[in-house]
Amino acid sequence: QVQLQESGPGLVKPSETLSLTCTVSGGSIRSHYWSWVRQPPGKGLEWIGYIYFTGSTNYNPSLKSRVTISVDTSKNQFSLNLRSVAAADTAVYYCARGGGELRYWGLGTLVTVSS
Amino acid sequence: DIQMTQSPSSLSASVGDRVTITCQASQDITNHLNWYQQKPGKAPELLIYDASNLETGVPSRFSGSGSGTDFTITINSLQPEDIATYYCQQDDNLPYTFGQGTKLEIK
């Protein structure tokens, strides 16, 4: 069974960079798309972007200028960097397998942006 | 961006009821519509993909239908464990977008 686990700081200061890693177990990161989705507290889901195992990416235009998603196939991991964060970026961040339909999800990690 | 509008935003029903949630896309997305269930404090789970295909392991009381711009998810014989928020998502056009969610409660 494929499992995903997000890791990274739970607190980030305004204007700094949010960095999260998703570790995939129970399957190879190859031959799949991998996504990031976020959910502000008490609100709905927002698609951030996805990466193919080859490194090809697509991002939500609303975040495109600040987002980078990368993949490390040797570690079976993919990562999210979100630059110049503000309070509005406070959310639970999920990693998931898939580009469109998201079949496997991590448990999610709450990232709070605060000084 | 394609806007996804769900209705109702919240819904209260009794155990055993048949429940229907609708999702409307702002433009034609053919059948590129997925439904997710999210229980409190948990990650979303894929229930239905491509509008009407039941994900493996999902109870058969769940079903999906629709094409173009109008879609529905139906729960036949609501069970207590179905209490959750339901989201539709289109993956026809980038950026992929979700509906605002429908919170389902037991009456």
Helix (H, G, I), strand (E, B) or coil at A88: helix
User: By percentage, how much of chain B surpasses pLDDT 70?
Assistant: 100
Give the pLDDT confidence of A37-62 residue by residue, as tens digits. 999 999 999 999 999 999 999 999 99
| Mean pLDDT value across chain A | 97
How does residue A31 score in pLDDT terms, banded at 50, 70 and 90? confident
Structure tokens belonging to residue B93: 């056009």
Query: How confident is the model at residue A4, as a pLDDT?
Result: 98
Give the pLDDT confidence of A71-82 residue by residue, as tens digits. 999 999 999 999
Q: Which residue out of A101, A103, A109 would a mutagenesis test of the B interface target, given it has the greatest number of B Cβ atoms within 10 Å?
A: A101
Query: How confident is the model at residue A67, as a pLDDT?
Result: 98
Tell me which chain A residues have a C-beta less than 8 angstroms from the C-beta of B44: 37, 45, 94, 102, 105
Burial class (CB in 10 A: 0-12, 13-18, 19+), A31: exposed
Query: How confident is the model at residue A103, as a pLDDT?
Result: 96
Give the pLDDT confidence of B63-100 residue by residue, as tens digits. 999 999 999 999 999 999 999 999 999 999 999 999 99
Handedness of CA A49, B67, B6, B106 (dihedral sign): negative
Query: How confident is the model at residue A15, as a pLDDT?
Result: 97
Structure tokens belonging to residue B25: 């896309």
